[in-house]
Structure 1
């Protein structure tokens, strides 16, 4: 515990303890229980995510983490009950939330090169639009990250909510395929080619993302309430 304190990890540890208490209490009050099959499925998912593909690998991992089998079962139970509580609280709120924030889930397939020099960015923009150079050629010359350079600056399908406001405004005003004029942000000067627009769809992945975000916001609010109550009680004790 002294090492935890000296490592400045006490606040994070306290928040994790409070979060655990909030979740288990809320699940109990809601009457949420776990079936054996649900726990087994969660255990399988946990092992897969941690690359524990055999019993021997699982036991080795538990030993390395100084965990017992009972500890592992508790981890699985807490993970499962958290997911079930999130679904219980917010599953019926997903569709209204999605349609209210539908624009945030729109996506665009883009290629990007970030430069430091605005004049160079403008020069390269005109070279691309007049077909003196291809975007791929620019990416090969000016992208420093090896993997991104190999992909020619391909960023893939990026959601509107994951872009900086100044970039999303320009990207979603484009008519693909279109090369955008250089965009200035705190990261530098962005050269962006918009290849395609993807309309938002409420698929399983998006549903899970929305439930997770709503649950995280709910937890944050509950933690803040606990902190306020704790401060008030502390002040009363001092008085």
Structure 2
């Protein structure tokens, strides 16, 4: 026989504790308060039209394309209209604060760290046997077999094997130093001598080196990283001052 279960606010808080989510939620609270305080200190204002656009964006992301769906979503998350407006406000004020603090710092940061954003189009096969890796390296170099042949035979992951070991465009900063040094010294297209790391022996085909371009995507990525770093510093300072 089914039975209705009454859930109180105390039940919810207790479950949060049992889920070990308290530190995460406390950090979110600190983050929210820090952003609001910093925005107020900077004199950042929010216009009604801007708030409406931010609310529309939330609806778009969550596919709330009707009043009924919006109310159902609010009810599901135990949110009021005021709560919904606060979410929109926080999203908007965070973006404005980010731009206020770091919009003029993106280009200097990019110039200073330009090498980190150099990219490489590369293919990789990771082996366990260094002697085998060297044997395959020389076989490819002598034209006895292709890199694709090696990838098709020795890569275990199905999708990666189908792509011939293709990793796409990889940034210098995302590579291990020992791999990065060899990769960015290559003259594409070139298979470089096997590199030993803690993950195994890497046989790599460097297809193309790509010089960095400060496009909109990279600009957004940099400004987000700068803001995240600043926010982490603020959180750390608030915790040490307790």
What SS does structure 1 have at the residue aligned with 2:43?
coil
Alignment of 1:215 with 2:227, yes or no, is yes
Structure 2 partner of 1:164: 176
Q: Aligned pair 1:71/2:83, yes or no? A: yes
Question: Do the aligned partners of residues 53 and 3 (structure 1) sit closer, same or farther apart at CA in structure 2, a change above 3 Å counting?
Answer: closer
User: C-alpha distance in 2, partners of 1:9/1:130?
Assistant: 57
Shift of the 131–96 alpha-carbon distance from structure 1 to 2, 3 Å rule, reads: same
Report the alpha carbon displacement of residue 38 of structure 1 after superposing the two structures with TM. 3.1
2:38 alignment partner, one of 26, 40, 46: 26
2:65 to 36, 54, 66: 54
Q: CA deviation at 1:180?
A: 1.1
SS for the counterpart of 1:81 is helix
Q: Which aligned segments of 4 or more residues in structure 1 are displaced greater than 4 angstroms?
A: 47-50, 56-60
Q: Compute the displacement of 1:96 (Å).
A: 0.9
| Match runs of 1:1-239 below 5 Å | 1-50=13-62, 52=63, 54-55=65-66, 57-230=69-242
Distance 1:149 1:59 in 2: 47
**Between 221-230 and 52-61, the greater mean CA deviation after superposition:** 52-61
State the shift of 1:40 in Å. Answer: 3.9
Unaligned runs of 5+ in 1: 231-239
SS in 1 for 2:187: coil
In structure 1, distance between residues paired with 2:82 and 2:154? 53
Partner Cα distance (2:133, 2:75) in 1: 54
| Larger Rg belongs to | 2
TM-score where L is the length of structure 1? 0.88
User: Does the residue aligned with 2:126 lie in a helix, a strand or coil?
Assistant: strand
SS at match of 1:181: strand
Structure 2: 5+ residue stretches without partners: 1-12
Separation in structure 2 between the aligned mates of residue 20 and residue 149 of structure 1, nearest angstrom: 45
Distance of aligned partners of 1:12 and 1:198 in 2 relative to their CA distance in 1, 3 Å threshold: same
